[in-house]
Amino acid sequence: MPRLEQARAWYREDDAVHGFGHIRRVHALCGEIGRAEGADMDILLAAALLHDAQGSHPGENSRDDHHLRSAQFAGKVLAGMGWAEERILAVQHCIRAHRFRDEEQPHTLEAQVLFDADKLDVIGAVGVVRALAYALQISQPVFAEPSARFLQTGQKEPGEPHSAYHEYLFKLKKISSVLITPAARRMAASRQAFLDDFFDELAAEMRGSESMPSI
Ligand SMILES: [Fe+2]
Ligand SMILES: [Fe+2]
């Protein structure tokens, strides 16, 4: 069974978005939600520790296949620890199905708990910090006015930035409604409200500043 301390070697400490801090929080959330929901804790916690291990770090070309690469990496790590094939496959399903924008849906309880725990970490005060940190990592502004096209379809106009506010409208605003397990849904309500308040306030202040005389 991989341990939290072992996972430290697979993640960066200095990445505020997908670094070891994210893994420690998702591991703790999986512990809480998984016990409340009756999940297989070995499968769930191994998946929590390994779910972003490959392809998530700043400077890598694209995060698009990080769930697939992390699932492969998990297979090697767990096989090296003598895990049975069937349990490795169960962990790999959790990892492949943890993304918000993906085809493989979480169909086991353990995959649903990991999905929920990972999403709880993008809302609340931590969610604010991560959204802003990610925008800075990818050299995008914290706020840009979304186009009418983006608001209607989620597609940006040519040259339109993908600001943290765009990410909020596109993804973060809906998080509490996509969570699956009752335990996670209970935990999400206050975090979602905090995140919504932050981005509403940010947009109001940014829009207000455009009409203010410069000082
Ligand atoms: Fe991920
Ligand atoms: Fe994650």
| Ligand 1 center from residue 96 Cα (angstroms) | 9
Could you tell me the pLDDT band of residue 210, with boundaries at 50, 70 and 90? low
| Ligand 1 center from residue 26 Cα (angstroms) | 11
Q: Please give the mean pLDDT across all residues of the chain.
A: 94
Answer whether 112's CB lies under 8 Å from 177's CB: no
Question: Mind listing the pLDDT tens digit for each residue in 163-181?
Answer: 999 999 999 999 999 999 9
Question: Mind listing the pLDDT tens digit for each residue in 111-160?
Answer: 999 999 999 999 999 999 999 999 999 999 999 999 999 999 999 999 99
Q: What percent of the chain has pLDDT over 70?
A: 95
Indicate the angle between helix axes 41-50 and 66-80, nearest 10 degrees: 120
Q: In the predicted model, is pLDDT for residue 215 greater than 60?
A: no
Closest ligand (CA of 100): 1
| Ligand 1 center from residue 118 Cα (angstroms) | 8
Closest ligand (CA of 98): 1
Answer whether 173's CB lies under 8 Å from 157's CB: no
Could you tell me the pLDDT band of residue 103, with boundaries at 50, 70 and 90? confident
Question: Mind listing the pLDDT tens digit for each residue in 44-70?
Answer: 999 999 999 998 777 666 788 999 999
Closest ligand (CA of 118): 2
* 8-state DSSP, 174: G
- Among residues 29, 187, 157, the alpha carbon closest in space to that of 166 is found at 157
Closest ligand (CA of 114): 2
| Ligand 2 center from residue 130 Cα (angstroms) | 11
Residues contacting residue 209 through CB under 8 Å, at least 6 positions apart: none
Closest ligand (CA of 18): 2
| Ligand 2 center from residue 140 Cα (angstroms) | 20
Q: What is the pTM of this model?
A: 0.93
